[in-house]
Amino acid sequence: MSADVRIKEQLPELTRRIVATYDESPSIHHLGHCPLPNCDAVVSACEDLKEILYPGYRRRENLHLGNVTYHVGDLIDGLHDKLTMQIGRALRHGYSCGQLGGDTACADADEINGGEIDFEALGQAKAVEFLEHLPEVRRMLARDVQAAYDGDPAVRTLDEIIFCYPGLEAVTIHRLAHLLYRLQIPLIPRMMAEWAHSRTGIDIHPGATIGDHFFIDHGTGVVIGETCEIGSHVKIYQGVTLGALSFPTDAQGQLVRGAKRHPTIEDGVVIYANATILGGNTRIGRDSVIGSSVWITRSVEPGTTVVLEKPKLRMKGEAPIPEADYHI
């Protein structure tokens, strides 16, 4: 028997064994249920939204005040249809899984289709409400771009920030995802956040509340948790973690969800690279400066500077380096 024949006989058996695991592990398939939001459609919506928020920087060139209204109107019309479908799917799934008042376990497609909720109409209403907020989102992003320009001497123009800064990319998607999060849309805000995370290395949960004039410099490795609250005029650097100190559990040992787990950062705070700030009761007072690589699990009074004591650099086999010869 040739190798090709043996492989052709093996493949159907392999397929059978794989499909058998669908019964064994039903929690990680979505068979027989209503359609979920489509990843490609959500990403496409994000790209359309960026085209609206930053016209002339993305796909369409030669825009001016004489033709931009038509261009934006066409995008808004397409986004209305796209978001209506995707939000409707997300709401239907959330309802079926008990996130929006449905059963605690996911129901099947027939059960949901037989219900009285018009998820398409609800999706359309939520989509329109979301789109209505885009003018204010643009105003906030303009202040974020200015914060980046004011906070980074390496940048030469505002255009450079819009083209090149991953921090702005992450914050742009976050402001859109946070708006959907506030509208109680399941799944889609997290899909948007993880798409931005994969592109920028910046992980911002859509539930995090962030004030205006916000700037993430460099950005790679930044983590901002779901219940984090950040004021205005805050600047953070790469590797910063604003995370949870612990995860409380109930009497049955299950995680308590919805409690505040992440810190509050007041206005005007600067947090340098690789700092870690943990805990829902931790508050960093306004105008404080948090130095590189510190670990903070309790509140800091306003106007405080927190730094590590100066370490000594030691190289084995060489004489110690005098303090005057290096700087931290």
Indicate whether 322 pLDDT > 80. no
Token code pair at residue 125: 């209403």
Token code pair at residue 236: 């953070």
- Largest Cα span, the chain: 80
Whether the CB-CB separation of 122 and 91 falls below 8 Å is answered with: yes
List, for residues 253-308, the tens digit of each pLDDT value. Answer: 788 787 899 999 999 999 999 999 999 999 999 999 999 999 999 999 999 999 99
Which pLDDT score is estimated for 328? 41
- Mean pLDDT for the stretch of residues 173-180: 98
Q: What percent of the chain has pLDDT over 70?
A: 91
Phi, psi of 116 (to 5 degrees): -100, -5
List, for residues 48-76, the tens digit of each pLDDT value. Answer: 999 999 999 988 888 899 999 999 999 99
Residue type for position 170: A
Please state whether the predicted TM-score (pTM) of the whole model is above 0.85: yes
Which pLDDT score is estimated for 314? 78
Indicate whether 103 pLDDT > 50. no
Whether the CB-CB separation of 123 and 83 falls below 8 Å is answered with: yes
| Residue 182 burial (10 A CB sphere; 0-12, 13-18, 19+) | middle
Residue type for position 67: N
In this predicted structure, which of 76-90, 93-107, 116-130, 137-151 has the lowest mean pLDDT? 93-107
Domains of the chain and any CATH numbers: 30-201 (1.10.3130.10), 208-328 (2.160.10.10)
Which pLDDT score is estimated for 26? 87
Whether the CB-CB separation of 134 and 52 falls below 8 Å is answered with: yes
